């Protein structure tokens, strides 16, 4: 005999639009709203699987506003999968610099090589085949297949999951969420429908205070904005670090001292950064303290104290760094960490 909770879940799922006229009306309402109100984003103006793939990888755990410029610049450097496959890893990481989560860039590069070597530079056209490629999981495969190739396969990201949980009023399991998304998919326009669901979650059915009064599918929502409460997110760790920003003029070329992270580091392997220490300099050099920054990496919030030399004088506040003097005009060609980019931009160096 099914458990009472299981019966309750199935009852509530059955009550939300799943078939017939009700589902058709739901699809029309959502797609009509999307046609009128979708954001003007560059990856929505193409059916090129390379560009759609790139946008989906960049958008993982990253805000749209932060992706726009990187997407444009990346495509200028690597306009197609062949150009990306032929590039060095350092070139790819340099173009990715500032987006964070650099494993995405490495997997993107690896996948491009696989596409060129094993698929002649073309993309498989089904979600199942796409999932066999490096770095492409169920969500990304479904997004590419539905948008580029019109395969009727649903996508589920955090936005879609939130919409479905509010719509059904049920704390759905992962399999139930994917099943629900597939059941309501508009097979005639699968790519647009998937993007409409994601757009709804990103702009209307948002976390915290959803904009229910302007929701195009409010009449089909069981919760009207109330969300089943999940466990609270884990608290961020807090740390302090000290960075040395040293510049000098070497034979007419402005240079900055950078250190390369170990190639096998668990975080940002091989990236270049300013010399840093988790211990404050002793004694504290008041004249050398320039600025303090706030910076977050995964689950850690950093307070970053930057020491800067003046008039080319050596900075002795931190232990001597085993770094290299890098010409400033070469920095765009090497992979630097997001924190280093933030500091160099604030200092007017890049």
Q: What is the pLDDT of residues 98-138, one digit of tens each?
A: 888 888 999 999 999 999 999 999 999 999 999 999 999 99
Q: Is the pLDDT of residue 295 over 90?
A: no
Tokens coding 103: 């494993």
Burial 185-208 (b: 16+ CB within 10 A, else e): bbeebbbbbbbbbbbbbbebbeee
Say if residue 343 is exposed, middle or buried (CB neighbours under 10 Å; 0-12, 13-18, 19+). Answer: buried
Residue whose tokens read 């530079």: 121
Stretch 6-18: mean pLDDT, rounded?
50
pLDDT level of residue 269 (50, 70, 90 thresholds)? confident
Tokens coding 28: 């029309």
Tokens coding 348: 């007017």
Q: Which residues contact 290 (CB under 8 A, 6 or more apart)?
A: 245, 306, 307, 308, 347
pLDDT level of residue 181 (50, 70, 90 thresholds)? very high
pLDDT level of residue 6 (50, 70, 90 thresholds)? very low
The pTM score is 0.74
Q: Is the pLDDT of residue 321 over 90?
A: no
How much of the chain exceeds pLDDT 90, in percent?
Answer: 54
Stretch 9-37: mean pLDDT, rounded?
77
- For residues 100 and 63, give the distance between their C-alpha atoms in angstroms, rounded to a whole number: 11
CATH number, span 237-346:
3.90.79.10
In the chain, CATH 1.10.340.30 sits at 4-220
Out of 2-16, 234-248, 283-297, pick the least confident: 2-16
Q: What's the pLDDT at 218?
A: 93
- Rounded to the nearest 10 degrees, the angle between the axes of helix 49-59 and helix 138-149 is 140
Is residue 129 part of the annotated active site? The answer reads: no
Q: Mean pLDDT for the chain?
A: 86
CATH topology of domain 4-220: Endonuclease III; domain 1 (1.10.340)
Say if residue 287 is exposed, middle or buried (CB neighbours under 10 Å; 0-12, 13-18, 19+). Answer: exposed
Given 56, 199, 246, 273, the catalytic residue: 56
**Distance of alpha carbon 215 from the chain centroid:** 26
pLDDT level of residue 11 (50, 70, 90 thresholds)? very low
The CA radius of gyration of the chain, in Å to the nearest whole number, is: 24
């Amino acid at each position: 005999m099914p458990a009472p909770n299981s019966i309750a879940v199935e009852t509530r799922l059955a009550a939300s639009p799943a078939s017939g006229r009700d589902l058709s009306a739901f699809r029309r309402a959502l797609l009509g709203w999307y046609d009128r109100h979708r954001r003007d984003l560059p990856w929505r103006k193409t059916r090129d699987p390379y560009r759609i793939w790139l946008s989906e990888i960049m958008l993982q755990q990253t805000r749209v506003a932060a992706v726009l410029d990187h997407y444009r610049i990346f495509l200028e450097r690597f306009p197609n999968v062949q150009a990306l496959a032929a590039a060095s890893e350092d070139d790819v990481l340099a173009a990715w610099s500032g987006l964070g989560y650099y494993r995405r860039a490495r997997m993107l590069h690896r996948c491009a090589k696989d596409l060129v070597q094993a698929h002649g530079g073309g993309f498989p056209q089904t979600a199942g085949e796409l999932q066999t490629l490096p770095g492409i999981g169920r969500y990304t495969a479904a997004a590419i297949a539905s948008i580029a190739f019109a395969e009727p396969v649903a996508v589920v990201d955090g936005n879609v999951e939130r919409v479905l949980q509010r719509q059904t009023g049920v704390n759905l399991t992962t399999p139930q969420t994917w099943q629900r998304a597939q059941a309501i998919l508009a097979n005639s326009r699968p790519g647009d429908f998937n993007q409409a669901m994601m757009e709804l979650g990103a702009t209307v059915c948002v976390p915290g205070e959803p904009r229910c009064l302007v929701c195009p599918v409010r009449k089909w929502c069981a919760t009207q904005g109330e969300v089943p409460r999940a466990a609270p997110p884990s608290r961020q760790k807090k740390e302090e670090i000290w960075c040395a920003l040293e510049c000098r003029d070497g034979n007419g070329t402005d240079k900055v001292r950078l250190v390369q992270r170990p190639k096998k580091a668990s975080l940002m392997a091989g990236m270049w950064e300013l010399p840093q220490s988790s211990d404050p300099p002793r004694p504290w050099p008041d004249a050398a303290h320039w600025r303090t920054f706030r910076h977050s990496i995964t689950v850690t919030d950093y307070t970053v104290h930057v020491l800067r030399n003046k008039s080319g004088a050596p900075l002795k506040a931190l232990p001597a760094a085993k770094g290299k003097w890098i010409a400033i005009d070469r920095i765009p060609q090497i992979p630097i960490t997001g924190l280093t980019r933030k500091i160099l931009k604030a200092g007017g160096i890049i």
